[in-house]
Chain A
Amino acid sequence: MTQTAAEREEPVGSPPQDLSGEQLRWMYRRMLLIREFENTAQIRFEAGEIAGFLHLSQGQEAVPVGTCAALREGDTITSTHRGHGDVIAKGCDVKRMFAELYGRTTGYCKGKGGSMHIADFSQGIIGANGIVSGGLPIALGAALSCQMRNTDHVTVCFFGDGATAEGGFHEALNLSTLWQVPLIFVCQNNLYGLSQPWEETAFQCDLPERARTYHMPAECVDGMDVITVYGAVARAVNRARRGEGPSFIEAKTYRFLGHYVGDPATYMDQEEREGWRKRDPIPRLGRQLREWGYLTDEEAAQIRAEVEEELQAGIEFAKSSPKPPAADALSDVYVHFDHHGEPR
C-alpha cells in the first residue's frame, strides 16, 4: 500500500461528542497497555522464558479497545489465537495473563491454556481460540443465550480475515440473522491470514457486502482509528440491545510483525509495512487528545510510566508465582468425574 502525505499525518478532526475525556484517556491507556504487553511478551519469549506459540497483535490495538469501550459488564466476547489485545481490552489483568504465559497457577487458566486460550468467564471472556473460526458459532450461542435469558446483554465475536473462508463463519452469520440474536461480528482484517494476503484468499473481498447478503447491517471502518471503531460498534451494540439483531463490522488494520514470534514474515512487503506503521493508532490518538486539550505531555508521560510499572509488576508476579504440580495436568477435565471416570 502506498501512502500519500495526507495519510502519513492523519487529520486530527474534531473531538467526538459521545466520548468524554476520561473515556478517551482510558482508550489511550488501554491501547498502550496492550502494545507494551505484547512488546514485553515478545522480549520474554525471545529470551526463552515463555514457551509455545505467541501470536502478537501490535498495530491492531484500536480494534479491541474501540470495541470493548462500547461494552459493559455482563456482555460477552469470544477471541482468537491473536487474542491478547481483545482480552486486555475487555478487562483482563496483565498480571494473570503473564502468569498464564509463564505456565503458573495464578494464570487465568492455571497454566493449562497458554497464550492461545486465555479466558476469564467472570468477565464474559469465554475464550480465545486455537481453531481459526472456532469462536464464531460459540459467540452465536452466547448471543442466543443473552436473548433466551431475556437480558439486554450482547456478544462480540472477534475473528480474523482468515476465518471468513471457513464454513463456521457462514453458518454463524446465517443463524445469527435467522434468530436475530444480539451479536456483533468484529472482523479484524489485518490483511494476512498467516502468510496469505487477504485478497488472494477470496474472489469477493468486500466483507460487508457478504454480510449484507445475510441481511444484517454491515460496514467497513478504519481499524487504525479507535474512535471510528468505537462509533461503529456502539451503533451496533445499541441495535442489538434494542432487539434488532446482529451487525457486522470489518475493521481494516495491520499486523506490524510476523504471524507468530519467530516468523520472519518474508512474504510481507516492506514498503506496505512501513506505510501502516505510520498510521499507528496509539500516537494518532495521542496527537488528537493533545490537540483537543484532553491530555498534556506530563499526563502522557505519566500514563506511560504507569503502564510500564504495571507490566513490570505483572512480570514479577508471574515469575514469583508457583508452578502447578505437574500432576495438575490431570485435573479439570470433567466437573463430575476424574480423568479415570471416578466420581469426584
Chain B
Amino acid sequence: MREITYREALREALREEMERDETVFLMGEDIADPFGSAYKVTLGLSPQFGTERVRQTPISEQGFVGAGVGAAVTGMRPVVEIMYIDFATMAMDQIANQAAKLRYMSGGQAKVPLVIRTQGGPGRSSAAQHAQSLEAWFAHIPGLLVAMPSTPYDAKGLLKTAIRLDDPVVFIEQKLLYNTEGPVPEEEYTLPFGEADVKREGSDCTVVATSMTVLKALKAADILEREGISVEVVDPRTLFPLDIETITASVCKTSRVVVTHEAVERCGFGAEIVAQIAQTAFGYIDAPIQRVCAPSVPPPFAQHMEAFTMIDEHKIADRVRRLVTGEL
C-alpha cells in the first residue's frame, strides 16, 4: 500500500468530502493559499475549490466557530480550523454552550454537522499557550464527539466520517504527527467513531494510548519485547464515543494496564479510562492501574524542561517494566 503523511491524509479527506458534497466548506485563519494554514493541511485546496469554500477568516475564533454552528444548523457542513487547541479557549462559548447543546435544548430539533479541526501537543518549545493538550475539556461536554487520530490511516478515515456525522465533532490533531508517514489505501474508506484499534497485540500488559503517545507506546513495546515483556497497545481513536469494550477485553487478557497521554495527569482523559476499567474489569486486574501523563504544570518553553514534562517511550517502558516485574 502507498504511504502518505498524516498531513496529506487529512488533506485528502477534506478534498474528497468537498468534491462529494458541495455543502462542505472550510473556515479558519490563514487557510487559503499561498499560506495554506499553519501546518499546511489545507494547502492547495483554495485553488481547487475557491475562497468561498476555503474561506479565510480574520483572527476571530468566536466569530467563525459560531458561524460554523449557525451554518451547520441551516444546511451546510462546515469544517472550521482552530490553529492551536489553545485558541479554542477564545471560542469556548460557541463550542461548549452552543454547538454541544443546541440539539438537546431544542428537544432534538437541531442537527449540528460541524467539525472543529485543531491541533495540540508539545514538542516544539512553543511554551504555555501553544502546546497544551486540552482534549479532556471537550470530552467532558455532553453533546460533543471527540476524535484523536494517531496515524495517517486513522486520520483520513475518521475525518471523512466526522464530516458526514450530524453531530459536532472536535477533531484533534498533533503538531508533530503531520510529517509522520503510514499506509493509506487509494480507495475510498471511512472509519467508524467509537471503535478502538489494537495497534499491537501482546500478553503481559495493556497500554492505552492516544494520539502521539500511541507512537511512543509502540516504541516502548519494541524495547520491552527485547526484554521478554509482551505489550498490547490499544488506541481508542475517539474519546467519545469511547470503545471501552475493546480496552477492557485487552485488560482482561493481560491483567495489567498503563494509560498514557500527553495531557497533564490531573483530570486528564486517562482518569476516565481508568475509572471505566476499574468499574468493569476490577476482578481481572493483578496490579495497580498506572497513568503515564504529563505532570500537572503548563508546558514550559526551554527544550530540556519541555522534554522533562513530555511522554517518551522510556517513561512508558519503565512503568510497564516495573508493573510487570511486580515492583509497583
- Interface residues in chain A, defined as those with a beta carbon under 8 Å from any beta carbon in chain B: 51-53, 100, 103-104, 109, 111-114, 116-117, 129-134, 162-163, 165-167, 193-196, 200-202, 266-267, 323-324, 326-330, 333, 339-340
Q: Is the CB of A166 within 8 A of B60?
A: yes
Contact of B305 among A130, A202, A329, A340 (CB under 8 A): A329
- The segment out of B29-37, B147-155, B247-255 that lies at the interface is B29-37
Q: Does B161 contact A (CB under 8 A)?
A: no
Q: Is the CB of B308 within 8 A of A201?
A: no
Q: Is the CB of B58 within 8 A of A117?
A: no
Q: Does B303 contact A (CB under 8 A)?
A: yes
Q: Is the CB of A339 within 8 A of B127?
A: no
A194 CA to B58 CA, complexed, in Å? 10
Closest to A263 in B: B35
Q: Is the CB of B301 within 8 A of A111?
A: yes
In the complex where A202-B58, A327-B308 touch, is A52 in contact with B124 (Cβ < 8 A)? yes
Give me 6 other A-B pairs in contact (C-beta within 8 A), A103-B302, A130-B127, A339-B295 excluded.
A111-B302, A114-B125, A166-B59, A166-B62, A267-B34, A329-B306
Q: Is the CB of B129 within 8 A of A130?
A: yes
- Interface residues in chain B, defined as those with a beta carbon under 8 Å from any beta carbon in chain A: 29-30, 34-35, 56, 58-63, 86-87, 89-90, 124-130, 295-298, 300-309
Most chain A beta-carbon neighbours within 10 Å: one of B30, B56, B59, B302: B302
9 A-B pairs within 8 Å (CB atoms) are namely A103-B301, A113-B127, A131-B89, A162-B59, A165-B59, A196-B56, A196-B58, A267-B34, A323-B302
Q: Is the CB of A53 within 8 A of B35?
A: no
Sorted nearest first, the 7 A-B pairs with minimum C-beta distance are A103-B302, A114-B301, A130-B129, A165-B58, A195-B35, A51-B125, A326-B308
What distance in Å separates the Cβ of B124 from its nearest Cβ neighbour in chain A?
7
A51 CA to B301 CA, complexed, in Å? 8
Contact of B300 among A112, A130, A166 (CB under 8 A): A112
Q: Which residues of B contact A200 (CB under 8 A)?
A: 56
Q: Is the CB of A329 within 8 A of B308?
A: yes
In the complex where A111-B301, A131-B87, A329-B300 touch, is A162 in contact with B58 (Cβ < 8 A)? yes
A196 CA to B35 CA, complexed, in Å? 9
Q: Which residues of B contact A162 (CB under 8 A)?
A: 58-59
Q: Which residues of A contact B302 (CB under 8 A)?
A: 51, 103-104, 111-112, 114, 323-324
Q: Is the CB of A330 within 8 A of B295?
A: yes
Q: Is the CB of A111 within 8 A of B305?
A: yes
Q: Which residues of B contact A163 (CB under 8 A)?
A: 59
What distance in Å separates the Cβ of B315 from its nearest Cβ neighbour in chain A?
13
What distance in Å separates the Cβ of B36 from its nearest Cβ neighbour in chain A?
9
Q: Which residues of A contact B30 (CB under 8 A)?
A: 194-196
What distance in Å separates the Cβ of A4 from its nearest Cβ neighbour in chain B?
29
Q: Is the CB of A130 within 8 A of B308?
A: no
What distance in Å separates the Cβ of B42 from its nearest Cβ neighbour in chain A?
12
A51 CA to B123 CA, complexed, in Å? 10
Closest to A329 in B: B305
In the complex where A53-B126, A333-B297 touch, is A193 in contact with B305 (Cβ < 8 A)? no
A116 CA to B129 CA, complexed, in Å? 9
Contact of A326 among B56, B89, B307 (CB under 8 A): B307
Q: Which residues of B contact A166 (CB under 8 A)?
A: 59-62, 90
Q: Is the CB of B301 within 8 A of A52?
A: yes
What distance in Å separates the Cβ of B10 from its nearest Cβ neighbour in chain A?
20
A242 CA to B301 CA, complexed, in Å? 41
Q: Which residues of A contact B300 (CB under 8 A)?
A: 111-112, 329
Q: Which residues of A contact B125 (CB under 8 A)?
A: 51-52, 103, 114
A134 CA to B89 CA, complexed, in Å? 11
Q: Which residues of B contact A112 (CB under 8 A)?
A: 127-128, 300-302, 305
Q: Is the CB of A194 within 8 A of B126?
A: no
Q: Which residues of B contact A104 (CB under 8 A)?
A: 302
What distance in Å separates the Cβ of A8 from its nearest Cβ neighbour in chain B?
29
A168 CA to B34 CA, complexed, in Å? 29
Q: Is the CB of B58 within 8 A of A167?
A: no
Contact of B304 among A132, A193, A323 (CB under 8 A): A323
A193 CA to B86 CA, complexed, in Å? 18
Q: Is the CB of A339 within 8 A of B305?
A: no
A195 CA to B63 CA, complexed, in Å? 19
A130 CA to B131 CA, complexed, in Å? 11
In the complex where A131-B87, A196-B29, A339-B296 touch, is A167 in contact with B62 (Cβ < 8 A)? yes
A97 CA to B30 CA, complexed, in Å? 30
Contact of A117 among B34, B59, B301, B306 (CB under 8 A): B301
A324 CA to B296 CA, complexed, in Å? 19
A63 CA to B269 CA, complexed, in Å? 45
Q: Is the CB of B35 within 8 A of A267?
A: yes
Q: Is the CB of B297 within 8 A of A329?
A: yes
In the complex where A51-B303, A52-B301, A103-B302 touch, is A114 in contact with B127 (Cβ < 8 A)? yes
